[in-house]
Amino acid sequence: SQKIEQNSEALNIQEGKTATLTCNYTNYSPAYLQWYRQDPGRGPVFLLLIRENEKEKRKERLKVTFDTTLKQSLFHITASQPADSATYLCALVPSYNTDKLIFGTGTRLQVFP
Amino acid sequence: GAVVSQHPSWVICKSGTSVKIECRSLDFQATTMFWYRQFPKQSLMLMATSNEGSKATYEQGVEKDKFLINHASLTLSTLTVTSAHPEDSSFYICSAAGTGESLYNSPLHFGNGTRLTVT
């Protein structure tokens, strides 16, 4: 079956440390993968998009990697801050001939002072 | 830019009644809008893809007669939950892709969701 799995347990880290979130997918061959942030009671907000031919993408304190062999994407937040506390969702377009976004299970990140 | 407005932000209704949720793209035209549902502490589940001027495409397991979708203009899509029951209580979120944009190289723009509670 097709699955997009993220760390189900909440990730708690101390301010200033690097948070690393994992997204693993099964039975998909996505050309692109996206990461979103969702705060409680709000809609997701787009963060980064990475293509299959890009190993790494950066935006300010954010970094995303995409390994199509491992079928995995890693999302890093460096110098984390309490304001980074939220749920982070990875999402992918299932195949080249579809135009819809399927979301992973999400990981709740808590950054404490 | 790329603002999606969803209304209402929350609604409480009695079992058996119908509820309409509106999704508007405020500063761009959206040929395609997507409706998601999210249960507590779960991820977003795609319900249907709404295309302007044509019938919506529903995901497997989603009842099209219960969740009526209308996308009558390039800036408005509506989701009507008909004959709502307590199990329909959920967080409904719409999103939009700009006209000409593909999810292969563009993000989805999300509304802030509608919390539906059916009593």
Say yes or no for a CB contact (<8 Å) between A93 and B104.
yes
Q: Can you give the pLDDT at residue A35?
A: 96
- Nearest chain B residue (CA) to A89: B43
Considering only CA atoms, which of B6, B21, B40, B9 is closest in space to residue B82? B21
Q: How far is B44 from chain A (nearest CA, A)?
A: 6
- Given CB atoms, is B54 within the 8 Å cutoff of chain A? no
Q: How far apart are alpha carbons B89 and B37 in whole angstroms?
A: 10
What is the model's pLDDT at position B104? 65
Predicted local distance difference test score (pLDDT) of residue B42: 87
Extract the tokens encoding B1.
């830019």
Q: What is the mean pLDDT of residues A88-99?
A: 84
What is the rounded CA–CA span in Å between residue B112 and residue B22? 11
- Return the number of CB contacts < 8 Å for A and B: 62
Calculate mean pLDDT across residues B8-14: 97
Cis amide prior to B107 (ω within 30 degrees): no
pLDDT for A28:
85
> Distance (Å, rounded) from C-alpha A18 to C-alpha A86?
15
CA separation for the pair A89, A44 (Å, rounded): 8
Question: Over chain A, what is the mean pLDDT?
Answer: 92
Q: Are strands A102-103 and A86-92 parallel, antiparallel or unpaired?
A: antiparallel
